[in-house]
Chains A and B, each alone.
Chain A
Amino acid sequence: MESMLGVVVAKYNYWLYVVLMMIGFYAMIGKRNLVKKLLGMNIFQTAIILFFVSMGAKRGGGIPILDKEAALAGAVKVAEVVNPLPHVLMLTAIVVSVSVTGVALAVLQRIYKEYGTLEEDEILDKIGRS
């Protein structure tokens, strides 16, 4: 029972991100509205960003902004500063996610102008008829 609780405490953040990611995944493949699909993709990306940032966490670690004199003297303990590398990589991922969302919204607007709807099955009907 004690070890069970230890596993929950050690891993619950990953489980939460899996749940969040599966919400986005279901929205992407199960919903018919294209805007809802796009929202699902954004939820998916957010789950991945949270997952990466949480991998860099250290128990008892401070923010990765160092005291300059102490750092130049080599007096910084690695275990007391959280890992800055996932944060940087996720900044890049956020930029990509914003770009993808922008282009996708533009394409959706164009689809709405062309077909008058954003429901996938209605669009497929209209393509099939013409």
Chain B
Amino acid sequence: MKTLALLATILTGAILLYGTADFAPWGDPESPPNRHLSTYYIEQAVKETHVPNLVTALLGDYRGYDTMFELVVIYCAGMGVIAVLRRSDS
């Protein structure tokens, strides 16, 4: 059981390490994640939202609904905890 788990772990790790060969180098400004969408945000976010902190501008303005409905996630988690831990009378 433990050897099987260790084997699966090593196999998955080897596949993932092989997959890192295709990644862009660390800190490369021209890497694909840094080239497409985020350049628009860095150039335009302050003009459009007047928030100097880009993370806040993205979180609260462009992704406002996402952030708002994260409250639903927290709420559901809270309801789940209450439902599981509530003392039953029976």
Contacts and interface: CB of A to CB of B under 8 A. Distances in A.
A15 B26 contact: no
A116 interface: no
Interface of B is mostly: helix
A78 B43 contact: yes
A26 B5 contact: yes
Best-buried of A12, A14, A65, A79 by chain B (most CB within 10 Å): A14
Nearest to B87: A113
Contacts of B31: 55
B46 A88 contact: no
30 contacts: A9-B25, A10-B26, A10-B28, A11-B20, A11-B25, A14-B20, A18-B17, A21-B16, A25-B12, A29-B8, A30-B2, A30-B5, A30-B9, A55-B33, A58-B28, A65-B54, A67-B52, A68-B52, A71-B52, A81-B54, A83-B42, A84-B54, A85-B41, A88-B59, A88-B63, A95-B70, A96-B73, A99-B76, A106-B80, A106-B84
Given A56-B33, A58-B28, A71-B52, 8 more contacts: A10-B26, A19-B13, A22-B12, A65-B53, A66-B42, A92-B67, A99-B77, A110-B84
Interface of B: 1-2, 5-6, 8-10, 12-13, 16-17, 20-21, 23, 25-29, 31, 33-34, 37-39, 41-43, 45-47, 50, 52-55, 58-59, 63, 66-67, 70, 73-74, 76-78, 80-81, 84-85
